[in-house]
Structure 1
């Protein structure tokens, strides 16, 4: 199983940061690191922890998150109360992959993170891509903007999709058994179907061990 994407939250409000960390930890495939409360703390944490994604506020006690954004060589999403058009333009110009206004719900952040995970999967499997793949990756960053692909499906991919009953959630191992393929094969096709928006990934917590990824058809 692929390792979880590591997320650093940069917010000077400790309670808000803890809340957002709980939101992150509830999303399959993501793990929140200890939050940073300032620009200086964020720089130290990014240098030492090497997160995959930074969730960044604009208003920080020792500087602007927008200025920090311009210094980062890591994917970043803005989570902030700064609703002025200038801040939004600057954030996007400096490379933010998304911009969410506070307050927001756990589901809103979950959708944004799942979109980011699709973006990573689409661009993470190939060294060279075509323009169609680039456009898919760009669209995948917008929650709700991914529609099931119209491309022809292989017999195995179609069988994996048909094994998922509406309203039910399955592990990769369960799908593999239903289809008659290896777990690794089922996992590969489920990830591809998730990239296309045909399958969604949820998280189920057991009594021991890591949370289990569950796959189902979007409602």
Structure 2
């Protein structure tokens, strides 16, 4: 599949720059363009192929959902992911009713957006691979969009979100052979016991797989491999 082309719509220059940098860091995505108003966005969409719109809802010349409505009315195939500080349930419901594929609240981290973009890409790949729809196939495709994202900012009691982020990063880069608690602890600069608590949490939440390998003493050593989205 070619890179998915993303239009970023936000009236704050800092946000546009940050979102663009985030998108470029995720493999399989490219920034198609940016816009700061509804009219600018609609002109861009009328003449350029876009797969996904990252949409701020508060724009100077209208509401972001007006763009989503115009897309649907005009039959434009671009999907929409709201990225906003707006927390009103009515807006969430409206975004869902317009076929939104995500609703990400500001402020957010790179990991927050990356996980949602990766889930969206799996969703698109599932659609592209299907010759015809079956119920199980449809369920599988939509499951990718609705898969819970690990909320590292709300880590369980006793775990620190920033450390959990670093542990996840080490596991992601660790490869299929897996890493031990000692190895992860060395990378994150925490003790083996502390690293094991984070790794066990990830395994218990379905984001890491446990395995075994022979340690230096010949005894089995528990390893962990990243399995989350």
- TM-score with structure 1 setting the length: 0.66
What residue in structure 1 maps to residue 134 of structure 2?
130
User: How far apart in 2 are the matches of 1:6 and 1:36?
Assistant: 14
Please state how far the C-alpha of 1:138 moved relative to its aligned partner.
1.1
SS of equivalent residue, structure 1 residue 112: helix
**For residues 85-124 of structure 1, what are the structure 2 equivalents within 5 Å?**
85-124=89-128
The aligned counterpart of 2:9 is 10
- Which of 76, 80, 83 matches 2:80? 76
Instruction: Using the TM superposition, give the Cα deviation of residue 14 of structure 1 relative to its aligned residue in structure 2, in angstroms.
Output: 1.2
State yes or no: 1:218 paired with 2:227.
yes
- Deviation >6 Å, runs of 4+: none
Greater Cα shift, 134-143 or 99-108: 134-143
Give the SS at the match of 1:18.
helix
Report how many aligned residue pairs link the two structures: 157
Relative to structure 1, the CA distance from residue 15 to residue 143 in structure 2 (aligned partners, 3 Å threshold; closer, same or farther) is: farther
- Structure with the higher fraction of residues in helix conformation: 2
State the Cα RMSD in Å. 2.3
Deviation sequence 1:63-115 (CA, Å, 0-9, x none): 10111111112111000111001111111111111111111000000000000
Q: Would you say 1:166 and 2:178 are equivalent positions?
A: yes
Instruction: Report if aligned partners of 1:6, 1:33 keep a CA contact under 8 Å in 2.
Output: yes
Q: Which has the higher contact order (CA 8 A, sep 6+)?
A: 1
CA distance in 1, matches of 2:100, 2:176: 35
Task: Determine the structure 1 residue equivalent to 2:60.
Answer: 61
Unaligned runs of 5+ in 2: 150-174, 180-206, 209-224
Aligned to 1:39: 38
Structure 1 unaligned blocks of 5 or more: 146-162, 168-196, 199-215
